[in-house]
Amino acid sequence: MPDLERVQRAREILEGQLEECRLCPWECGVNRKAGERGRCGLPAAPVVSGYEPHFGEEACLVGERGSGAVFFTGCNLFCVFCQTWEISRERRGKEISVEELAQIFLKLAEEGCENLNLVTPTPQIPAILAALEEVLQRGWRLPVVYNSGGYERVEVLQALEGVVDIYLPDFKVWEPEVAERLLGARDYPQQAREGVKEMWRQVDGLELDERGVARRGLIVRHLVLPENLAGTGKILHFLAREVSPAVRVNLMGHYHPEGRAYEMPPLDRPLRRAEWRIALSEAQKAGIFNLDRTHWPLLDLILLDNSAGG
C-alpha cells in the first residue's frame, strides 16, 4: 500500500510540473494549470472514461473480487493499432474533480477489489496523487497498480517510489523506426528500456500473497505483432539480460486490427499461430520462463480461427 508521506511528496513534485508540463517524454512545456494542452490533449483535472472491478487482467491481479480498474481518458502514445481507440485516441470520457476521483477509489475498495488499477495514468498523475492523498487520510488501503504504455520519464517514476506497489508497463516495440511509424514516438524504445529498469529497481520481482494475488512487483506486457514488427526476441533478451530472467512477462498473442491498423499491412490481420510459436521460442532462447498464462486457453482458440497462412 502507498505511503502517505511519499504520496504527498510526489504530488508536490509533480504538480509543479503541470505549469510547464514535463510529465512524460514529450516534455511539451505547456501550462496545463492555465488550460493549455500538450500532445496528450488533456487538462490538469482528471478525465475518466469508466471504472469497475475488472476481471480481464492477469489472474494474479484479479484474485477473487477483481482488479479495481480506473480507465483514464487519453494517452501519451499514438498507436495506430490501439486496442482501446475510443478511450485513448478519441479521448472519450468525463472531466471530474479530484474529490470525485477519490470517491471512485473509495467505491472500488468498498466493492472488495484486490487493488487500485490505474489504467493509462501518466498524463494525469498529479490529480491521481491528490486523490490518493485524500483517501489515504480516510484509512483507504489497497495496492496501487501503475498500468501504462511504457512511455515514461525516469524522473517521474523516481518521484513515484513508495507510491506504486505494482508496475504493469507495456514494452511495445524495439526499433526506433518502427516506434515512430506505429506509436508516433521514435524515442519510445529507449524510454521503455530506462523506465522498465527503474520500475524493477523500485519494486523488484513479483510478490504474491497466500492466495496467489500480487501485492508488489513488476509485470511486463508485450503484444506480439504480425511479421515480428515488435522485435519480440530483442525485447525478451533485453529483459533477461538487463532486468532479470525472473521478471514476470505477459507475452500476449491476442493482436487483432483496430484503429488505423487496417490501412497498414501486415497489421491489417490477426496474429498467426506460427508467429505465436516463434514468440514462445524466443522467450525460451532468452531464458524468460516466468510467463503469465492467464489468457492462453482463450488465445489458443483465437489463433486456431486465424491460422491461415501459419
Mention every residue, 6+ apart, whose C-beta is less than 8 A from residue 38.
21, 26, 28, 29, 30, 32
Residue 151 lies in a domain: yes
In a domain? residue 146: yes
Helix 98-110 × helix 125-136 angle, to 10°: 60
pLDDT value at residue 304: 58
Which residues of the chain have a pLDDT value below 70? 304-310
Domain CATH for 81: 3.20.20.70
- Cross-strand pairs, 70: 51, 118
pLDDT for 156: 98
Q: What is the pLDDT of residue 1?
A: 82
Cell of 264: 497498414
Residue 247, in any domain of the structure = yes
Query: In the chain, how many domains are there?
Result: 1
- 70 lies in a domain? yes
Residue 310 confidence (pLDDT) = 46
Q: Which residue has the cell 509543479?
A: 16
Residue carrying the nine cell digits 496474429:
271
Asked whether 12 and 130 are in contact (CB, 8 A), the reply is no
In the chain, % helix, strand, coil (3-state, to 5) comes to 40, 15, 45
Q: Answer for the pair 2, 146: CB distance below 8 angstroms, yes or no.
A: no
Range of the domain at 146: 4-305
310 within some domain: no
Q: What is the dihedral of CA 308, 221, 126, 188, to 10 degrees?
A: -70
pLDDT value of position 278: 96
Decide if 66 is inside a domain. yes
Domain-located, residue 173: yes
What pLDDT, on the 0 to 100 scale, is given for residue 307?
Answer: 52
Non-local (6+) Cβ contacts of 284 within 8 A are none
pLDDT of residue 305: 61
pLDDT, tens digit (0-9, with 9 covering 90-100), for 22-36 = 999 999 999 999 999
